[in-house]
Amino acid sequence: MNGPLRAPHSIGFTYARSVGGATERFLRGLASAEIWGSRAAGGRVVVPPVDHEPTTGAATAAFVRVGDAGVVRSWTWVAHPTPQHPLPRPFAFALVELDGADTSLLHVVEADAEDEMVTGLRVRADWRAQRVGSVLDIRAFVREERGAAEPAPSEAPDEIEVVSDVRLQYTFEPGLALSSFFGALAEQRIEGGLCGTCERVYVPPHARCPACGTGPMQPVVLAHTGTVESFAVVHLPVPGMDLDLPFAWGWIRLDGADVPFAHLLAEVAPHDVRVGQRVEAVWVPDGDRPASWEAIRYFRPVDPA
């Protein structure tokens, strides 16, 4: 290996949650093209509404409908939107204090150019024709003098859910020690890190010994066999893993190592896995073997039952 590895990674998942109280009132209002706040101590109207006064914790007095137009109190210009942004062309994120409210709502303002944005600008909500009970039911705020189409009638759904699609893309750089480890896996070797002071062997290796801090650790080639120190049986599907359920996942301490690592157990029924079981690595064939943990397909019993 000539240098550290780099690889693009992407993590994504979707989850939904139900809502109640002030949040439900706010989202139901949005589905009907209405914006609601709550009356807090001293008569202040808070938008979005809250169930309890932010400063004292006391229950808020009542829900209050506010206008769908207001004033920009502060803003920041987004010159280069990404696919995750709510508008496909340059826009502003802004804190908008709606008529009848004493706090500001964070949303987006659609403007043709940055020089159109000023603190104090009057804006109005541009509602989507189809609304589902989401803050995105307001497509954007636009300059008030431009006007906005009268929102079409729309009924709130029977149950309000907040659905979030989380997507994260990043580049993983494991560093020199792990890059060497992954490079060795691609060549069908398992390398640990040997501490020159306490003589403990770690898999995967570290830049410095986790126990005594001595470094750098020296690479040492380990056997492909080891012992199951603990395990878990998985009964729920795991995103990205096409495996029949249930399956077993074990902490395996290789011969010659002092610490275990986690990996998949296969060629054995989950109810036949046991602590102390001897296992061996099953490798991805040459030519298809990546420089990652996936170079080992799984571990299997040395003497299957």
pLDDT tens for each residue of 76-103: 999 999 988 999 999 999 999 999 999 9
Contacts made by residues 112-116, CB under 8 angstroms, sequence distance 24+: 114/77, 114/79, 114/90, 116/143
- The predicted model gives 138-163 an average pLDDT of 79
Query: Where exactly are the structural domains of the chain?
Result: 20-159, 173-301
Query: Can you give the pLDDT at residue 16?
Result: 85
Query: Can you give the pLDDT at residue 156?
Result: 67
Looking at 178-305, which runs of residues are DSSP E strands? 190-194, 201-202, 218-222, 225-234, 247-254, 261-265, 278-283, 296-301
Q: Among 107-116, 162-171, 223-232, 271-280, name the one with the lowest average pLDDT.
A: 162-171
Q: Please name which of 178, 111, 171, 181 lies closest in space to residue 141, comparing C-alpha atoms.
A: 111
Cβ burial, residue 266 (10 Å; 0-12/13-18/19+): middle
The tokens of 263 are what?
């990996």
Res 54 pLDDT > 60: yes
Q: In degrees rounded to 5, what are phi and psi of residue 178?
A: -70, -30
Res 305 pLDDT > 60: no
pLDDT grade, residue 147 (50/70/90)? low
Q: Using an 8 Å Cβ cutoff, are 221 and 278 in contact?
A: no
**CA 201/CA 189 separation, integer angstroms:** 15
Query: pTM of the prediction?
Result: 0.60
Q: What is the mean pLDDT of the chain?
A: 91
